[in-house]
């Protein structure tokens, strides 16, 4: 006699499965209520502040804070945690002699909470601004801009507007601030010559300039390559964050710096992943100090953070679609 499978019609089995599903849904719903309540209204204000900082310094995730807290409370948190001193670098303090050494060294950054990459470029005059050829319609990826400029290395640089014609786009097609390439103003949204904006750029001698400058100051410093972003993290050898973490939360980071001998530092920190959550601005500042930066500034981070070297991207961008399109990069010819 052949063995036959016996189907169970026991209604208790179906009832048990239904109970399990209901229980799981209840636990998920409970977590959705309890976790935000603990984060935003619980006793751990440092967790709440870090959450708010991380959300509000992004372009597309601010709702993670505004959904739970009123505008005035968010402003109070951001004002309290922003502990950055602002200053302008003085190129006259840099006395290096450029030997036009083509060496580029690569280092890995590892900590308990994040991983990253550092490039040390010995000849600062090799560093230029690369611009998307599709502006003002849209940006290009870091690797695309690097390849089109025959660059050996590149990192994302300036920021851009996420809103285009009133709707969310984030194509990298609308830069913020100013773009200077080969000594010419490629793009500017400055409304007049006297307004100071964040500048990260290089003089003809390869000296890194960071700080807030207006058009007249840019011309007087003979800046040849520049984008707008910040804040400055190290100015004339002095750290700009002396208390707290900088007030920008935890995120993927891109930064640029220069040592007293002229060596340029490219830095990226991966984020928004289990193996690398991200870094604070204080973390970035400390890494730059460790590598001997005399001047350094934060660049656009988050999903834009990308490092290209020898034909490929060597970090792990957090953008779910891969490399994000950006308006500008700093590249090494």
Query: Among 60, 81, 102, where does a domain finish?
Result: 81
The last residue of one of the domains, among 40, 61, 81, is 81
Q: Mark whether 251 and 294 lie in a shared domain.
A: yes
User: In 3-state terms, what secondary structure has residue 225?
Assistant: strand
- Asked if residue 4 belongs to a domain, the reply is no
Look at residue 136 in the predicted model and tell me its pLDDT: 87
**Alpha helices, DSSP H, located in the chain:** 11-41, 45-56, 63-66, 71-81, 142-148, 215-220, 281-290
Q: What is the pTM of this model?
A: 0.81
- Same domain flag for 213 and 263: yes
Which helix (H) or strand (E) is 203 found in, with range? strand 197-203
The DSSP-derived string for 234-294 is EETTEESB-SSS-SS-SB-EEEEEEETTS-EEEEEE--SBTTB--B-HHHHHHHHHHTTEE
Sheet containing strand 223-227, edge to edge, reads 184-188, 178-181, 223-227, 197-203, 208-213
Q: Which of 81, 110, 142 is the last residue of a domain?
A: 81
96 and 46 in one domain? no
Tally: H helices and E strands in the chain: 7, 19
Residue partners of 300: CB distance under 8 A and separation at least 6: 156, 157, 158, 159, 160, 229, 254, 326
Whether residue 183 is found in the same domain as residue 223: yes
The Cα 183–Cα 185 span in angstroms is 7
Residues 197 and 68 in one domain: no
Strand, coil or helix: 226: strand
Query: pLDDT per position in the chain (333 positions), as tens?
Result: 455 554 555 555 555 776 666 666 655 654 555 555 555 565 556 666 665 666 656 666 676 667 666 777 666 666 665 678 889 999 999 999 999 999 999 999 999 999 999 999 999 999 999 999 999 889 999 999 999 999 999 999 999 987 555 555 568 888 999 999 999 999 998 878 888 999 999 999 999 999 999 999 999 999 999 999 999 999 999 999 998 888 888 999 999 999 999 999 999 999 999 999 999 999 999 999 999 999 999 999 999 999 999 999 999 999 888 899 999 999 999
Q: Supply the range of the domain harboring residue 30.
A: 12-81
Task: Please tell me the predicted confidence (pLDDT) of residue 293.
Answer: 98
> Given this model, what pLDDT does residue 172 score?
85
Q: What is the pLDDT of residue 297?
A: 98
pLDDT of residue 67: 67
Does any domain span residue 2?
A: no
Same-domain status, 73 and 124: no
Q: pLDDT at position 6, please?
A: 47
Partners of 227 in the beta sheet? Answer: 179, 200
Considering the domain architecture, whether residues 74 and 100 belong to the same structural domain is answered as: no
The number of folded domains in the chain is: 2
């Amino acid at each position: 006699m052949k063995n036959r499978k016996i189907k169970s019609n026991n209604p208790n089995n179906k009832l048990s499965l239904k109970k399990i599903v209901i229980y799981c849904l209840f636990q998920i719903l409970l977590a959705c209520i309890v976790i935000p309540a603990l984060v935003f209204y619980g006793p751990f204000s440092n967790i709440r502040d870090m959450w708010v900082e991380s959300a509000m310094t992004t372009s597309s995730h601010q709702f993670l804070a505004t959904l739970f807290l009123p505008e005035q409370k968010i402003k109070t948190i951001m004002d309290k945690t922003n502990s950055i001193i602002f200053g302008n670098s003085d190129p006259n303090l840099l006395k290096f002699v450029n030997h036009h050494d083509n060496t580029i060294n690569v280092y890995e950054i590892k900590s308990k909470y994040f991983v990253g990459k550092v490039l040390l470029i010995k000849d600062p005059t090799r560093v230029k601004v690369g611009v998307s050829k599709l502006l003002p319609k849209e940006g290009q990826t870091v690797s695309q801009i690097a390849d089109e400029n025959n660059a050996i290395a590149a990192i994302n640089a300036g920021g851009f507007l996420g809103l285009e014609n009133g709707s969310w786009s984030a194509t990298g097609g609308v830069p913020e601030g100013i773009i200077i390439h080969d000594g010419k103003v490629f793009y500017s949204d400055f409304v007049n010559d006297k307004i100071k904006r964040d500048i990260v750029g290089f003089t003809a001698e390869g000296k890194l300039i960071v700080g807030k400058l207006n058009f007249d100051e840019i011309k007087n410093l003979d800046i040849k390559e520049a984008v707008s972003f910040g804040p400055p993290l190290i100015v004339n050898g002095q750290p700009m964050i002396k208390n707290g973490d900088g007030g920008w939360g935890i995120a993927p980071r891109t930064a640029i710096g220069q040592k007293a001998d002229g060596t340029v530092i490219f830095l990226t920190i991966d984020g928004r992943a289990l193996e690398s959550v991200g870094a604070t601005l204080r973390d970035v500042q400390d890494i730059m100090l460790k590598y001997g930066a005399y001047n350094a500034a934060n660049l656009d981070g988050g999903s834009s953070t990308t490092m290209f070297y020898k034909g490929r991207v060597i970090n792990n961008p957090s953008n779910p679609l891969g490399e994000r399109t950006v308006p500008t990069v700093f590249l090494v010819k």
